[in-house]
Structure 1
Amino acid sequence: MKVAVLDINGKDTGRQVNLSKDVFAIEPNNHAVYLDVKQYLANQRQGTHKAKERAEISGSTRKIKKQKGTGTARAGSIKSGVFKGGGRMFGPRPRSYSFKLNKNVKRLARKSALTIKANEKSIVILEDFNFESPKTKNFTAILKALDLVNKKSLFVLGGSNNNVYLSSRNLKGSEVITSSEISTYKILNANQVILLESAIEGIESNLSK
């Protein structure tokens, strides 16, 4: 699967890279994609929600009326959840929403996501670049050249590059990650996935295991 390599000005360099069919042209597995996205979103939840139960409410514990003869339901403490100001019955408690997912399933999900983007012609191969210093306007110029302004874009680098990362940090619709940080959610959430040449080998190596 050959794809043209563009420069930072959006022009064809005349070179092509061969993307592995085992990573970018498989039969997508929608259920694996669903599970991997579900796990990613679950891991983002803090799980710090808490409501006070009747044991945690300040108030008297005396029995508010006699057990029988009132013609109404039995009632004990005023802190019961049936009364205004009482504790919450079956309220939320702090918990972790994370769950385990088999590595092979996650690998299949990411290959499926890349395949989906490849089928949509939403993957761009960009030659490696660097900035002398972090400047947002330099990164914005690349977005304009690639027609990615006001679009969600995911740039995948071969390795960490602080200048490029810091240059993109203030731009809401763009995200810069390394090849080892790709996730199914991030791939599918972007309108365009921009792979730097140096990132391709790392992606294929990680997902072909």
Structure 2
Amino acid sequence: MSKATLYEKTGKAGGEIELNDAVFGSRVNRHLLDFVVVRLGGNLRRGTHSTKTRGEVRGGGKKPWRQKGTGRARHGSRRSPIWRGGGTVFGPHPRSYYTRLSSGMKRSALISALSLKNKENNIVFLKDAALKEAKTKELFSILKMLKLVDTPTLFVVKSVDEKLKRASQNLHDTFSVKLASDVNAYHIVRRSKVLIEKNALATIERRALAVPEEAAPGKSSETEVRA
């Protein structure tokens, strides 16, 4: 078990928290991580892109001019791909980008993503994420104290209350909130920093190790900092 600093909302160290090395200190499988992240991103695509071929574009039924005698190149339709306004050749059509990934691959990628961020010192652990008001100002103040302002940050919490949901809506460009029960490698890799609430840590470790909730090993422990 390794230890990490647990921060208060004021930005000051509020103790230490134990991390499961099997989740936060594992070997990073970059090939698997890239494979899973690309496919998880593809699974989010709607695939509704569509272009029209020369047979689908309106018009073009009449031959522009006679075959011979005009001195111009021969053409049979104004909707040929070489004409302006003509059809598209080999253009995209609606399709599914979904790729099924096994549970083991997704768990291994999650462990690699967390281990990579931890080795880069890009994970911050927060003792408590409760807000007094549903105000962006209060949430922004917390991020400022933690030096996470203007840094693409993923906030992983055990549960999202209405206050946090409303307060984070104005920070959607650089700040996103995910449940510990839903977060995956794609969410983690997309952001520069990962902010994890203390109460969410046990859920993340349980999911990564595929351990039932009642038997989750290495439950987070906290050591208070005393002056």
Q: Normalising by the residue count of structure 2, what TM-score does the alignment of the two structures yield?
A: 0.81
The whole-number CA distance in structure 1 between the counterparts of 2:129 and 2:50 is 48
**Aligned residue in 1 for 2:178:** 177
The whole-number CA distance in structure 2 between the counterparts of 1:139 and 1:4 is 20
Q: Is 1:32–1:106's contact at 8 Å kept on the other side of the alignment?
A: no
**Structure 1 gap segments, 5+ residues each:** none
- Identity across matched positions, percent: 36
The whole-number CA distance in structure 2 between the counterparts of 1:34 and 1:60 is 46
Letter in 2 for 1:41: G
Equivalent residues in 2 for 1:156-195, closer than 5 Å: 156-171=156-171, 172-195=173-196
Q: Does residue 19 in structure 1 map to residue 19 in structure 2?
A: yes
Q: How far off is 1:129 after superposition?
A: 3.0
Q: How far off is 1:74 after superposition?
A: 7.2
The whole-number CA distance in structure 1 between the counterparts of 2:86 and 2:126 is 61
**Aligned residue in 2 for 1:125:** 125
The structure-2 alpha-carbon separation of the partners of 1:143 and 1:92, relative to structure 1 and needing over 3 Å to count, comes to same
**Structure 2 gap segments, 5+ residues each:** 211-227
The structure-2 alpha-carbon separation of the partners of 1:119 and 1:53, relative to structure 1 and needing over 3 Å to count, comes to same
**Aligned residue in 2 for 1:144:** 144
Q: How far off is 1:94 after superposition?
A: 1.3
Letter in 2 for 1:106: K
The structure-2 alpha-carbon separation of the partners of 1:62 and 1:104, relative to structure 1 and needing over 3 Å to count, comes to same
Of 75-84 and 151-160, the range deviating more from structure 2: 75-84
Q: Is 1:55–1:87's contact at 8 Å kept on the other side of the alignment?
A: yes
**Aligned residue in 1 for 2:206:** 205
Q: How far off is 1:127 after superposition?
A: 0.7
| RMSD across aligned positions (CA) | 2.3
Q: How far off is 1:100 after superposition?
A: 1.5
Of 169-178 and 77-86, the range deviating more from structure 2: 77-86
Equivalent residues in 2 for 1:1-209, closer than 5 Å: 1-13=2-14, 15-62=15-62, 65=66, 76-171=76-171, 172-209=173-210
Q: How far off is 1:73 after superposition?
A: 8.2
Q: How far off is 1:43 after superposition?
A: 2.6
Of 97-106 and 84-93, the range deviating more from structure 2: 84-93
Q: How far off is 1:151 after superposition?
A: 1.1
